[in-house]
Structure 1
């Protein structure tokens, strides 16, 4: 083939390059994740995230995200949601009443994304620094009409099919008022149970399920010596779940950012948020290396009306302040990384977290 001019030749080359680039871009946009890691820093709004930038000795891992959105958090019953309704919006895609665990406004159980994926042979896990029966983790595997029914929620965990869990709440599984030993029941269901420590070097078997109940109630505060529990549990959870060829879903909650907000305790809140930020770094490093993992980081609501005010008018000094001991109605941010991350940009209802993940990992 002869070209009548160099200009014509150059034009055709540019057209070919454009088509090639468009093809690559489309392929990247259409890529579906094999794995999903949903990270929830309970009670975290923009000021909490900002605190990880001002008070962290290391660069904040929130800064690594390029795809960011905002969610509206109101529940079906209240303008200001609680963690149960907020987490059920994420796990089951429905707006429900405050206090509901995996049920709709008529207290009818709604299948969660974790349960749906288990039917498709995905591996699943839940991790929290609260009790494992607390509102947020419970909403992914349990169905109860009220969040305080932790004895019943613990029973739901036994039959849930979750492959890996780690947190506190041992008192809801052994020495129960009803005399049932749910630790023994979990072992009978194929779990390898650990009640005193978490060893991040533990050799994991794809054929085994693992449960860690490391405190009677919630895990200790970072300020009281919890150490690297959340980091180590997440590392171990990914190690176990990634052995599954079909893919995995893991929910990781930094539960006590919320508790620091309720206590109007800035030091407590910031220390928990920085701990969570460290785990984000680990997860992003894994996702970057893996290439098939979608990471979504968000919160169920903001707690404390937290703000980074000036200290008595000195604009070079920050004084963490609070406007309430409860939750607030403000929107909270969503950060996404990996295949499908662009879908999480914009402003939308909290239930869309569920629908967006489901759409990306549909069969």
Structure 2
């Protein structure tokens, strides 16, 4: 593919002019200028040429809820501990990027914002209220145009939007929709079809049938010229030139989203596969913009499920690696950004009872997410009034947590439960059989602090294995913590330092020269 370069002659003409205003005091502009080191001069020219390149291929990865603790816990989990107890963290695909910035995430109404407002800030450069997608705050009557829409309309870039949660969820919607409330799910789906963007992939629409009086969101997309693909085999069969495409993941889990990475079956497509397919379908001489959201990092952290969060961060790292491999083929034209919309859960590495130690390898005993445990086991416990001790056999098999009375207790190691932990689990189990989950208004303050609005038994299990691993959370919601942005490729240097999340849009707009 032809690279985006300016000619040597054009460069030299600019060099002469720039020298006149002091921009290039040592630029090789004069025909008779001394050239003591041709290689150094060539290096200097190549460096300066880079100042005038713009990214033709832009990858924006958003780890929803992914603060620094979420990243660091994944690095520690993937790291090693030698026989002497020395620990070594592992790199993720993006943590070695040459430029790292820190970003504030507050919105017009809260220092602990939601995904609609923060994704709006990233996509448009404007602050708005929590719950609002690409509309001005307070009156909500002026729409904001997104960087994806501008690149599509002004520059002819193809555009792709991927999410591991619902394709009409707040973060992906913020790149193509404009709604007074993020809950206008059917209308968001209609905007998806009207966007004309070339590639969408992710979980199912949340209100696919709307009010039932008109075509469903799949039909609306098909009427707008989209290939609507709902099987993995159908997605795999797509090739370049397929035209506008909407892929709904075949294997759906909680909330009609994709499975958590740790719950995915062997061979089941995950975020990486949809990124690779997006590259295949979007690649073209004019360029593309591909936004990929790892949305279930956020969902895991809402539920204080540290292991599920870690596995989804690792899967997002794999997806970023697919972009890195593309960049290696197009080094002069590609920009990769990895960031978050906000932090979720108030995740902390360190817990009261583990003092200065952590035992993140304990999380390897967890075989499934809280959500899969709910659907696979807890619903049956509720229906059958299963005895606590019988349920704890499933807990041992799937989380490693072992009762002191269990025959395997002597081999349980750090996952052997204390009497205090057993009582906490028993109390949560009894509440689960009696009332299940509940809304905050229907719970005591104590119960909400213990379980949030989730199944009490599953939350007690997650909290117990987290604490034994040396991890904890402060909330079931979002926090106001800053998040990182990692940048690699053309224009990456613009994303270093400390700045507000609205600047991500402005820096991209400046690099691509959109109006």
Normalised to the residue count of structure 1, the TM-score between the two structures is 0.91
Offset from partner CA, 1:304-342 (integer Å, 9 cap, x none): 111111561252534221111111111100001110000
Equivalent of 2:66 in 44, 51, 56: 44
Equivalent of 2:95 in 60, 63, 69: 63
Separation of aligned partners in 2, 1:175 and 1:356: 37
Separation of aligned partners in 1, 2:197 and 2:323: 20
Contact 1:260/1:268 (8 A) holds in 2: yes
Deviation of residue 144 (structure 1)?
Answer: 0.5
Which blocks of at least 5 consecutive residues in structure 1 are unaligned?
1-11
Offset from partner CA, 1:136-173 (integer Å, 9 cap, x none): 00010001011111111111111111110011124533
3-state secondary structure, aligned to 2:51: helix
Higher strand share goes to which structure? Answer: 1
3-state secondary structure, aligned to 1:63: coil
Higher helix share goes to which structure? Answer: 2
Distance 1:77-1:275 versus aligned 2 partners, 3 A rule = same
Q: Superposed, which structure 2 residues align to 1:190-205 within 5 Å? A: 190-197=225-232, 201-205=236-240
Pair 1:337-2:494 in alignment: no
Q: Give the total of aligned pairs.
A: 352
Per mean C-alpha deviation after superposition, the further-off stretch among 15-24 and 249-258 is 15-24
Separation of aligned partners in 1, 2:269 and 2:286: 29
Which blocks of at least 5 consecutive residues in structure 2 are unaligned?
1-33, 80-89, 361-469
Q: Partner of 2:200 in structure 1?
A: 165
Per mean C-alpha deviation after superposition, the further-off stretch among 78-87 and 185-194 is 185-194
Per mean C-alpha deviation after superposition, the further-off stretch among 224-233 and 107-116 is 224-233
Contact 1:198/1:229 (8 A) holds in 2: no
Separation of aligned partners in 2, 1:194 and 1:21: 48
Deviation of residue 220 (structure 1)?
Answer: 2.1
Contact 2:134/2:177 (8 A) holds in 1: yes
Separation of aligned partners in 1, 2:217 and 2:66: 33
Q: Partner of 1:27 in structure 2?
A: 49
Separation of aligned partners in 1, 2:66 and 2:46: 36
Q: Partner of 1:307 in structure 2?
A: 348
Per mean C-alpha deviation after superposition, the further-off stretch among 326-335 and 189-198 is 189-198
Separation of aligned partners in 2, 1:81 and 1:358: 24
Deviation of residue 92 (structure 1)?
Answer: 1.0
Separation of aligned partners in 2, 1:92 and 1:321: 34
Deviation of residue 286 (structure 1)?
Answer: 1.1
Equivalent of 2:122 in 75, 90, 95: 90
3-state secondary structure, aligned to 2:498: strand
CA RMSD of aligned residues (A): 2.2
